[in-house]
Structure 1
Amino acid sequence: MALLTKQNLTFGLLGLVSLLGLPFTLNYYNVSYSPVITLLHIIMMLLCAYSWHLYRESKKTKDSNQELNDNRKQILLRENVLKSLFDNNNSYLWTIDFAEKTFLPSIGFEQVYGFSRDEFMNNYELWKDRVIPEDMDIAEEHYARLKSGLPSNRMFRFRNSNEEIRWLDAWGTPIFNDKKEVTHLTGVAYDITDRKELEEKLYHSATHDDLTGLPNRKKLMSHMKSEIEKCQEKNQSFAVLFLDLDRFKFINDNYGHNTGDKLLIQIGNRLQTFIDGKGIVSRHGGDEFIIIIRYNKYKQFKELVNGILDTFKTPYDLNIENSTISASIGISMYPKDATTIEGLIGQADRAMYRAKAQGKNTYRFANPVLEQAEIRKNSIEKQLKKALEQDEFELYYQPKVVLKTGDIFEAETIIDWHNSHLGRVSATEFIPLAESHGLMDEIGLWVLDEAMKQGNRWKEMGIDIRLSVNVSIIQFENPLFLRNISNLLSKNHYNAENLTLEITENILQNTQHASNVIHQLQNMGFEIAIDDFGTGYSSLSVINALPIDTIKIDKSFVLNILENEHNAKLVETIISLGDAIDCKVMAEGIETVQQSGFLKQIGCLYGQGSFYSSPKKAEEFQQMYEEQLA
């Protein structure tokens, strides 16, 4: 091509020179144009133009060839890059030809699968034989989508030539003919096993406890959500077991956190081994574990729970003197006890605390009635601390009467509590909690102070009536009790002779202390009554030894006094006892005219109860008392 170009260029230059030089030559030799010369001149001109045309075309061809060479170099470079990418990076290109029924992968296929391409090239569906059965649905769906004419991307597992399970990320695109029929499939596939293993490690770390390797709270929540959905569909049940270790704090504090950690690891292993796929064991936090397990028969389930407790009996490998430990378990059932994750765990948690309170190393089932009582109890405890500050307590007054006439001779003060969240809270609900939380002294002094103030108000109005106030064992045993009550008398200028202090029998257990305090109270002018007599610890000798002014027969004896002959005889005996030691006897809880009549018949002189009047507010009691006086 280069030679031809040079010749054309030479002829063209000669023709151009001849064309331009011919007129001068003819003129020089004084030769005129003839037809031959004219024809020759035209031929030379055409030759010149044609030579120029050939030169231009040859130049274009040369440029095109150069561009083609450059493109070939770039294509070769790209081919080398793609070959390097897909043959050396756990990936391969692939094509399926439906007409030829062939599967053509790039050489990277051998690296991914460990098989030679020749084994698969003549069977375009042989690759499916290496997909593991659990993922076959995914692979089939991916293949069907491609054959239907849609692009697809799916991840599934396969076995390589060493029978190792690997992960494949397969991408594919269909190719159509002019009739819009799928004739080929083409795509790329990557071995993503390393990435999947890293993802699984990260997921395991996020959903499992670092110490024990058990599922953590996040994994537990996910599992419970799934269990609830499955049980809703199939109308089935499952149980939530909330375990708390009974001696863990002692071991952790006395032998160190490393020993505590070893113990938690061993407990986790034992529980996991015992449950053995029948459920999920998770570490909820600290020394708490939660087990989620399906159950069909109640008897078998109880055997399983007892088996869990038994797993704790074998000593642990801790290199300490006593390496045994026990657990308390609370159990809630879906859907009987709750239908939400929070409800089920909360019910099981509270049941576990009942198991601890009732001896530990045992289990308790969730109880809706106890659950509501527990919730109310917790609310009372929370609100009780603010009740005095917010002036939520109020005193009610219940008349004590002479049974023969029905005349009121004394009023018992009864504390009542109205809370905006809880409503009305009776003294029987909050007094035990006040005692256990160290609030009884403060509340008791408020009652005494308020009773004295009300007594003074009535006295100023011309109503002279004796009041009685209950004193708890917490107040009675406080070394400052006598000083506090004396200060209240002085503060209110109140006469102690107008006040009866009611104590319960359990105060009398420490006879010497009780005798000393009672004598000092009586010296101050108070009368002393034993409340709820017959339900406590007092004996005849104690009653005889102490200067008691009044015995109040507990309402449990009066309630069925007409039906229970044994109770009737006990009441009659107490009345006789009171007469013998010169002590007033009063019956509590009189609800009917028949009870009142029977008590009068056997010699009881005093009583109180709803038959005569329920506790009244100060204004209502005052009106009732004034009507009696009128």
Structure 2
Amino acid sequence: MLNALLKHASTSVVQTAAFSCLLFGLFGFFNYLFLEPSARINSASLSLSAAALFIGAALYGQQAHRYWLTRLAGMGLIATGLYALNANDLQLPLFLPSCCFLLAAVYIATGATQTHRIVWKTVGSIFILISLVSFGIIWLGLPTYPQIQNPIAFSAATIVGLITGLGMLFYCFNQTPPQRSKLSITCLVFALSASISIWFAQSNADINEIRSRGEVNLTQSADVIGQRLQSQFSALTRLYRRWSELPASSVEQIINIDTEDYTRDFSLIQWMGVYDEEQNLLFSPITISQIDDDIINQPSIKKWRAENVHTESRVISAYSLKQGSPRLILSYPITNPSIVSDQLIVVLDIKDLMRIDRIPYLDIFNSYVELSEEYLLPISSDSFDVISLSDLNSMHAYKVSASSTVLGQPIKLHAVIADPAVFWQAARVNQTILIAGILLAFLLLESIESNRKLTEQQGQLIQMANFDSVTQLMRRDVLERHINQWLLEHPDDAHILFIDLDGFKPINDSLGLHTGNELLKHVATRLLEASPSSAQLSRFSSDEFILFLPQSSKEASSQVAEHLLTALQKKFEIDYIDLYLTASIGIASRELQVSSAEAFIQNADVAMTKAKELGGNAFAFFTQAMGLKYQSDLTLRNQLQVAIEKRQLEVHYQPFVDLKTEKIIGVEALARWRDNEGNWVPPDVFIPLAEHTGQIMPLSALILEKAISDIAQYITHPNFVLSINLSPKQLQSGHLISQVTELAQKYKVPFGRLQFELTETMIVDDAKSAFKQLAELRTLGCKIAIDDFGTGYSSLSYLNDLPADIIKIDRSFTRRVLTDSASHPVTEAVISMALGMNKSITVEGIESAEEASYFIKRHCQAAQGFYYYRPMPLEQLIEIVEQPTT
């Protein structure tokens, strides 16, 4: 049961997996190539998209038995693995390359053997296990959770891995190439495209939303830094301008006061000092720290001070960056006329400048100000580790960059995700959407395919209910419905042709059902081609057909019958064998007032029987006389069946005598039957009827048992012989030997008292089987007599091989021996040969002493005929046998 379900679902699972991967790869390429990437992170990496595309192609190729496509996809996976190994665009080193190389090995070495299926099943199970672990990472936060920097792409890779494993595993349950309708494939592609496009759109929207947050973060940072610097610079500008206008008597005092106040009020200012033109420190209100002193007195800074004594200038100390105490140094000229040109140097703490308070919504980024590609200053960082742009790119999968202007100078800022966990919720939601979409696509495919199969099965049932499976012609019952409907609606004349193939059974039996069915197909084709377009043709039974001709005349139906006979006489070539057929056709007309299709067809069937009697390859019209005979035969058949079932048949016995002594030596059992009115029905009427209807078997069994029972009970002479006629069907049944053995043992009759008669025609019709069974009867001790000898197919070789003890000369010879001297040579030759081969001769039909004398002179042993005894009932036989003179 489970295997059946797996086999049923496997085709849809593999197809869904194949198209899911193909479409995911295509959408991934489109997303990567034609949509503006969101910084450096993508909802599906280029390597993942390529891998999915090749996996889908491999699954499709394997299921369709296009192994070249599977192997080609395997080569593509090798290239994808090498690319992923260098690009690491999924931010999981070795994960994607390893999967690509493993699948590539399986796909390139693929095939259709049991070993290949085991490999596919094993690798598919591995991918399912890996995917389940990955689901645990995504939904349960397993240990590797923080290391995954692109959760959205990782969640997609998990789904691709899962459907890859399922596709490979379920392929092993059913390797039959699928037969899918265009509708089901179209709906599958549409449903998967919708689901995958929704996933990409939502994932891109989530990435763009985070990108927008990063841009807001950078803009806010640039604004805050700019405002702080602007405020600082404006204050310092006012300060040195005021100093430039002070009287000489108060310059030093005011400078000292102002520097103390500014240093105290502005937290960014670490130190302030005034230098002369020779770069000698004139005065400073606060003690400089060692680090700031080192920074100020760096040769590069001293050179910068000297070069900018008379100008406003700013510089960031490279030395301070390396020391982890970044400083921005400002230079302002003091141009007071009462003093020599001096220079104000201000040292600002960049770390304080970069310390910005943000709302939690934006506090998911690490932001940097780019001084150069080698120096990126962190914003709001406690450690304040300066980093290069290349290092930043290699460490973070997601980066947002923005350009801004601070104090009229262009600056560049970068923001990176501080913790990829910001993507995880979006990844989970989007993964659920994608899984649900793929499942719905699978269910849609299964639903469409189930409906298609149901429709096909319904169509097949309709086909089976209405059309013959071999010839594809209308079934008999369907044509009968059409005929009945036509009879109700039309008063016009119509004809039915009942077509029976002559000689089909031997062909079917000898060459087999396949050849027989092929021959029937060709026959049906010829009948259709030879029939009018308005005709309706049906297969009635094994080798019988019905042709209905509506609104037709007797002449038209005759012409159609002739065309059909001509068409069927032509050679049939079946499997390089030349075959020939003829047909017997019975034609019935509506003019005889038929009321139903059944009666109409029955009339044509009766006429066909008449055509058979004419020798076949002919047609005959149904007449009233045929109908009367048919009804008579039908009535007789029914009465005969009742007589058999109620054991009303009688056995009469005709003795045969020793020709010399005229003493009775045995009897021939003859079936006799009275009809319902008590009249004797002639044997030559009801015996052929029973042969034709199949009633001969129970009739023969009844006569056989009754005759053996009678002789066993009433006539106990040890040499008294009971002769019983056999029918052809008894020989064909295969049960004759067991039946005779059982009755002889039941009634304790010696086999030597039993004699069985059959005609030579019966033997010739099935010589091999007949000779075998007759030989077995002789082995038991029974005698075999050939009845009506000389009227069939006698030949010297046949007579020599005949498994018989007794030859019965037919009465047709007996009647002519006294009146036709020309018959003497033939009769005497038969007698001579039989005696020469030690066959006993019984002469039938003796009706005079002269006839008896003729055969006595020729040494015949026994005789039978009205001259001696007529057939008689058992009671009369007993009386005759018991007479002393008998």
TM-score, scaled to structure 2: 0.35
Higher relative contact order (CA 8 A, sep 6+): 2
Kindly indicate which of the two structures has a greater share of residues assigned to helix: 2
TM-score, scaled to structure 1: 0.48
Task: Return the index of the structure with the highest Cα Rg.
Answer: 2
